[in-house]
């Protein structure tokens, strides 16, 4: 964490950053995945906001997953900040990296991931993982339409969620999520085709982007299981069974992802994930020709089986409404 205007900051308990503001008008920046607290000696008005930094996207990914597992944030956090901003970021990466529509001479080019380094490539793949799992990590997925935070789901709502996956995510946003998921999967495929990642011991890692995501999925399930065993009260909406259902729904979008999930995902060693993240990997790119992406294709690529079930249910509901009107 960095502080501006001589704000006094200190660190306690090795993990919590505390900022003390003795005067007026201070600006404080907190790194991704960093617990923090603010202390003011007098009454104060505090305004906060979110932004994403390309060079910290891997840490941001860890922070979002930890926040989801810990159940600290209400669905409003995801609705206002998380999905829309990340979708804008991946669109910017698409324009600059895949479609070559941002010149290296432009100032905005500096904000693209440094994909010739392993750290920069990890940042790119981290945002791809977040967008593939956008609905999985969104608490609205596990809530009924218009359900307030902490309220109990009724039997009729549970039935609709089970039959048609009708949840608290608006229909339009499901389309946006499908588009971004398709773009993320296409970006992962682009990395897979044109980039060679070599481990510190000189071994080329095949299908690295998809293995990177699979190990995130395995870690997510294990963290969730450990959290449920540790907490005295179960999660109000998302339990381990529902989380696994959403993950298995998402992996069906891509054959390579499905292959690794079925063949490797359930038997992966904990050390494998650490192996993918440890420093010392080298990155070598082949020529990167311009790759134009079609919105319709991206949308089709990102639609999940539960999305199809939802839209079929919506079509049936609208048909019934029209019959009642006529």
Residue 38, SS3 per DSSP: strand
List C-alpha distances in Å: 85 to 27, 58, 141, 270.
21, 16, 18, 31
Residue 227 CA: distances (Å) to CA of 24, 66, 152, 234: 40, 10, 21, 9
Average pLDDT over residues 234-252: 85
210/227: higher pLDDT: 210
- Is the pLDDT reported for residue 1 higher than 80? no
17 pLDDT tier (thresholds 50, 70, 90): low
How confident is the model at residue 231, as a pLDDT? 72
């Amino acid at each position: 964490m960095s502080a501006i205007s001589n704000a006094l900051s200190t660190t306690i308990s090795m993990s919590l950053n505390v900022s003390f503001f003795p005067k007026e008008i201070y600006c404080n920046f907190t790194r991704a995945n960093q617990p923090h607290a603010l202390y003011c000696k007098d009454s104060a008005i505090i305004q906060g906001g979110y932004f994403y930094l390309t060079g910290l996207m891997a840490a941001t990914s860890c922070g979002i997953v930890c926040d989801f597992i810990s159940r600290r944030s209400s669905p409003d956090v995801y609705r206002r900040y998380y999905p829309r901003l990340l979708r804008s970021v991946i669109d910017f990466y698409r324009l600059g990296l895949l479609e070559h529509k941002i010149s290296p001479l432009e100032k905005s080019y500096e904000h693209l991931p440094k994909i010739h380094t392993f750290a920069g490539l990890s940042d790119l793949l981290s945002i791809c993982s977040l967008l593939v799992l956008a609905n999985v990590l969104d608490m609205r997925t596990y809530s009924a339409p218009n359900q307030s935070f902490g309220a109990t789901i009724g039997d009729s709502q549970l039935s609709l969620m089970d039959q048609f996956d009708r949840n608290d995510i608006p229909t339009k946003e499901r389309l946006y999520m499908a588009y971004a998921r398709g773009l993320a999967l296409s970006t992962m495929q682009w990395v897979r085709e044109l980039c060679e990642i070599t481990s510190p011991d000189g071994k080329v890692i095949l299908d690295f982007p998809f293995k990177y995501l699979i190990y995130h999925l395995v870690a997510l399930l294990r963290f969730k299981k450990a959290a449920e065993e540790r907490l005295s009260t179960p999660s109000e909406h998302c339990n381990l069974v529902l989380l696994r259902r959403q993950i298995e729904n998402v992996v069906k979008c891509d054959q390579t992802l499905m292959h690794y999930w079925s063949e490797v995902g359930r038997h992966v060693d904990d050390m494998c994930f650490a192996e993918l993240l440890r420093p010392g990997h080298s990155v070598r790119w082949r020529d990167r020709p311009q790759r134009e992406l079609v919105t319709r294709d991206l949308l089709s690529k990102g639609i999940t089986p539960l999305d199809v079930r939802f839209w079929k249910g919506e079509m049936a509901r609208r048909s019934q409404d029209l019959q009642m009107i006529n």
